[in-house]
């Protein structure tokens, strides 16, 4: 009987069971693989240098791999910014920046530039039943600086909805 079929959220995914506050993962975790890449790269170079000319399994590829791993490790290290400005702070800063009372809003974390600097992208709608304005604010995830903002009248057509 199709009337008996019910969708149910598994217990481990039920948000009402969460007791601890949610903590967004920090970009500084990138420093862990950075250290591993660098250590493995150093190990490859040391092995290549100490293996001698008669080694069958160790050749110049170990030296190249070691250099590449060290370069990748350094890149990961510099990209391990501390995300000290969380999504709640970014939402607050964005709400102040747009110049209208914010209703619905969403936050997305992205990265800028070659150094992968974390940036919050905050989309906000005004607080009316049918939002009259919307804004997009880019907030730096390291120091909370407002990078850019875009505010416009809401172009979405809500006439097809019963609101």
CATH code assigned at 102: 3.10.450
Same domain, 65 and 43: yes
Question: Phi and psi (nearest 5°) for 98?
Answer: -75, -25
Same domain, 104 and 62: no
Average pLDDT (1-20) is 72
Same domain, 69 and 93: no
Same domain, 91 and 73: no
Same domain, 71 and 122: no
Same domain, 147 and 100: yes
Within a domain: 112? yes
Average pLDDT (62-86) is 95
* pTM: predicted TM-score of the whole model, two decimal places: 0.76
Number of domains in the chain: 2
Same domain, 45 and 70: yes
Same domain, 91 and 149: yes
The predicted-structure confidence for 76-108, as pLDDT tens digits, reads as follows: 999 999 999 999 999 999 999 999 999 999 999
């Amino acid at each position: 009987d199709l009337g008996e079929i019910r969708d149910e959220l598994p217990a481990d995914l039920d948000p009402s069971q969460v007791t601890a506050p949610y903590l967004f993962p920090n970009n500084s975790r990138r420093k862990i693989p950075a250290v591993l890449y660098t250590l493995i790269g150093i190990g490859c170079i040391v092995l290549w240098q100490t293996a001698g000319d008669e080694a069958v399994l160790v050749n110049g590829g170990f030296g190249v791999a070691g250099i590449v791993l060290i370069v990748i490790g350094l890149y990961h290290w510099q990209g391990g910014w501390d995300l000290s400005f969380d999504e709640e702070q970014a939402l607050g800063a964005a709400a102040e920046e747009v110049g209208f009372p914010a209703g619905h809003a969403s936050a997305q974390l992205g990265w800028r530039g070659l150094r992968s600097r974390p940036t919050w992208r905050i989309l906000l709608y005004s607080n009316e039943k049918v939002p009259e304005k919307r804004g997009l604010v880019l907030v730096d995830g390291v120091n909370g600086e407002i990078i850019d903002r875009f505010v416009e009248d809401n172009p979405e057509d809500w006439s097809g909805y019963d609101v």
